[in-house]
Structure 1
Amino acid sequence: MELDGYVDRLRSQFAAISDVAGEDVRDVAERLVTPLESTVRLVLLEALAAAADEITLDLAPGSVHVRLHGSDPEFVVATAPAVSTPEPPATPATTPPPDPDGPVARINFRPPEHLKSRIEEAAGRDGLSVNTWLSRTVAAALDQPAPGRPANERSRGGWFG
């Protein structure tokens, strides 16, 4: 997706507004528009990334990501893989099975850069989006008994659960 057309439209709008105001305003507007171009691009990219996040909520477990190709954004859509896997072992009767179509929640996760790279590599190897990979990995970890706990007792999450 090229942003040049949008940035040019904004530039022409500034020019049209400054023409009405007079010569002094036109000179100031011309001097301001060029430095604002990078800021406008950044704001547009942020809006596209926010839109991709909202779309991802509707696509879960698929996802949409915005990547830069040169200076232009590009959308990458990852759909949930259609892999037939054997049925997982039954969950204990006290825990209802997860609802794949259930509500989706957002968590702001900020791993160290080296861990983020490893997460992205692992998700790529599995052909999954980072979000899907993290969701599956966390679900699997929570289904494992915690060290020092009986095998029939699942982790309840949290530091003290």
Structure 2
Amino acid sequence: MDLTPYVDNLRQELAVAADAGGDDARALAERLTAPLESAARLTLLNALSAAMGEVTRELAPGSVDVRLRGLDPEFVVTPPPAPEPFREAREPGAAPAPPPADTDDGAMARINFRLPAHLKARAEDAAAAEGLSVNAWLVRAVSTALDGGARTTPQGRGKDSGGRGFTGWVR
């Protein structure tokens, strides 16, 4: 998005306003237009960023980001993910299902995860309510989503566990 027409319009409006004040005001307006150009661009970028933040809140889990390319902003739209197609039950003799996500083979992978601020606050509140770190809560949420709703809480974790976990089988 080219901000130049908007900045030029502001410069022209300042010149028109300064014409009413005489030659001294016109000269002052001409001297002020160059320093005001960067301030006007920054103000426009702040307004666009705030507007895209509001759009992102409405699109969640999709998003709209404002990126600066040279002097002009560029919008990057990330649509919400499309729902997965329905999977039918597997036939006898088909490959076995992958192991459940709660099996810990010790391997860890690190990712950077961008989350809208309003969802981050909700995730922090939910994690705190269950006595988990945000990371542990997110791992469990991803595992639950991928395993079709089977929720598990690792032993020794969770609200009021205090290390009083039980192991074994019950009949």
TM-score in terms of structure 2 length: 0.56
Change (3 A) 1:55 1:83: same
Aligned residue number for residue 131 of structure 1? 115
Query: What amino acid does structure 2 have at the position aligned with 1:35?
Result: P
CA distance in 2 between partners of 1:85 and 1:148 (Å): 36
The aligned counterpart of 1:140 is 138
Structure having the higher Rg? 2
Indicate the SS of the match to 2:19: helix
Q: What code does the residue aligned with 1:131 have? A: L
Gapped regions of structure 2 (runs ≥ 5): 88-110, 124-133, 142-151, 161-171
Show the 5 A alignment for 1:31-46.
31-46=31-46
Q: Partner of 1:21: helix, strand, or coil?
A: coil
RMSD, matched Cα? 3.0
Moved over 6 A (4+): none
Higher relative contact order (CA 8 A, sep 6+): 1
Q: Which has the higher helix share?
A: 1
Structure 1: segments with no counterpart, 5+ residues: 88-117, 124-129, 157-161
In the alignment, which residue of structure 1 is the partner of 2:3?
3
Secondary structure of 2:115's partner? helix
Residues 1-161 of structure 1 aligned to structure 2 (within 5 Å):
1-84=1-84, 119=112, 123=113, 130-131=114-115, 140-141=138-139, 143=141, 145=153, 148-149=156-157, 154=158
Equivalences, count: 112
Contact 1:64 1:78 in 2 (8 A): yes
Tell me, what secondary structure is at the counterpart of 2:66? strand
Residue-by-residue CA offset, 1:73-123 (whole Å, 9 max, x unaligned): 011110112252889xxxxxxxxxxxxxxxxxxxxxxxxxxxxxx62xxx5
Instruction: Pick closer, same or farther for the CA change 1:85–1:155 going to 2, 3 Å.
Output: farther
The change in CA–CA distance for 1:18 and 1:86 in structure 2 (over 3 A counts) is same
